[in-house]
Copies of this chain bind each other. A is one copy, B any other.
């Protein structure tokens, strides 16, 4: 499969112009584009610039309200519930994490939820941002359409329901957990499809429940599996309860599938100053990370810290550029032309 390579800078500019041309205010267009390009930089192409195309489609269909503002509808000193008003999901999620960090710093810990929230993209963007402000952040997110079977079950029931956590560290390498509670995010199956690649046989079942290595099986009635057997299923279920039931968002099982790919979000942010203190926490985290890195690996393998693959990918792709499958690139070029944006 053939690829072209583009610089992050060029892609950011292109995304900003594509969204601006559709009525997204400039600052917001820049921000959405930045979060998507950041996903590619960190190696998560499943959450990257292919959304230039799908978000444009959702704007056209009226699912994304280009200039809507998320509004806090219920609030206490340490909590907030935010109505996203179907603004771009990134705008709602960034508002939510900012409120969460502010409240955690004032009141030790905070919880912020969102509903009427579009797809927020790569969840680790927000928790990582919060950790750089000196707080620990966790995000419990449901995806409002079914894709994953429950444990022992048949058929799509829950969303891919990502979980993310990040903590402050003293080094430039952050500690970042950021993953779907399914074996992989749906976007990773799409990337394999775009790349015409086979997938590992533990990701999916086809529509008859058979083992398969064909990424097309998901669109043809198959389903994803949760990671880690019943233990991953438990987390997947918890995301539905915290992200959706708690906030009044659509659950994975909800038959009403419009708008597509909604996210119900619950953020918990904690100020280490309420415990051991921020500086002591950073030192403790750094020292634990170093100790783990120094432990012995299996022959031919590496010990990686959560967040390290993302950090390494970003360094490399900032230097060498971001590889894009021809198919994805031609879709982006086509939407840009349609909008009169110079590529």
Contact = CB atoms under 8 A, between A and B. Distances in A.
Interface stretch (A5-13, A38-46, A266-274): A266-274
B152 A301 contact: yes
By DSSP majority rule, is chain A's interface helix, strand, loop, or mixed?
mixed
Nearest to A232: B228
B227 A276 contact: no
A97 to B, nearest CB: 15
A247 B285 CA distance: 12
Q: How many of these chains are in the complex?
A: 2
A76 B107 contact: yes
Interface residues of A, number: 70
B152 A303 contact: yes
A263 B71 CA distance: 41
Nearest to A276: B248
Contact of A152 (B165, B253, B291, B304): B304
Interface of A: 74, 76-79, 81, 107-111, 113, 136, 150-155, 157, 165, 167, 175, 177, 179, 209, 227-235, 237-238, 240-242, 245-248, 251, 253, 266, 268, 270, 272, 274-276, 280-281, 284-285, 288, 291-292, 295-298, 301-306
Q: What are the nearest 10 A-B pairs in CB distance? A: A228-B228, A245-B284, A79-B274, A79-B108, A152-B301, A177-B234, A109-B111, A234-B306, A154-B296, A76-B108
Given A77-B108, A150-B295, A228-B228, 13 more contacts: A109-B109, A113-B275, A136-B242, A150-B303, A152-B302, A165-B238, A209-B298, A227-B232, A228-B232, A237-B305, A237-B306, A246-B281, A266-B275
